[in-house]
Amino acid sequence: MLRFGIKSAVLGSAVYYTIDKGVWRDSATTSALYEELEKGVSPYVGELKKQIPYELPPLPSNDRVSYLFKYYWNSGVKATFSFLVDLPEHTSKAATKAYDYISTALDGTEQSTTAKQENK
């Protein structure tokens, strides 16, 4: 119960702080807050980058991300409709295979039943 109370207090404080600073207001206020935050954090980030020898690759540009999103979305749509076009054929093949399997299994049981009756 104490753990839940602490988590709730931290969450409530974070929400109150973001509302107080204006994160949820208009975009100009949010943009100004972001620039202020970036100026305040940049010296620490520079120090951290000096301590970590690993370089992160640059993020893809918005144009590239937009292109990739459109490409994969369109590929998914094409694959879905291709599946739907071929669905009757796949369904009929599956039904035929199921029928053949069941009829073969039933023929096998009839033959074994007949053989048992003849041996008596």
**Where along the chain do its domains lie?**
1-56, 59-120
Residue 9 CA to its chain's centroid (Å): 31
Q: How many angstroms separate the CA atoms of 40 and 66, rounded?
A: 31
* Residue 96 scores a pLDDT above 70: yes
Mean pLDDT computed over 3-7: 92
Least confident span in 65-74, 85-94, 101-110: 101-110
Q: What is the pTM of this model?
A: 0.37
pLDDT of residue 41: 82
CB 34 within 8 A of CB 41: no
Q: Which amino acid is at 70?
A: K
**pLDDT level of residue 76 (50, 70, 90 thresholds):** very high
pLDDT of residue 81: 97
Residue 69 CA to its chain's centroid (Å): 13
Greater confidence (75 vs 64) lies with: 75
Q: Which amino acid is at 35?
A: E
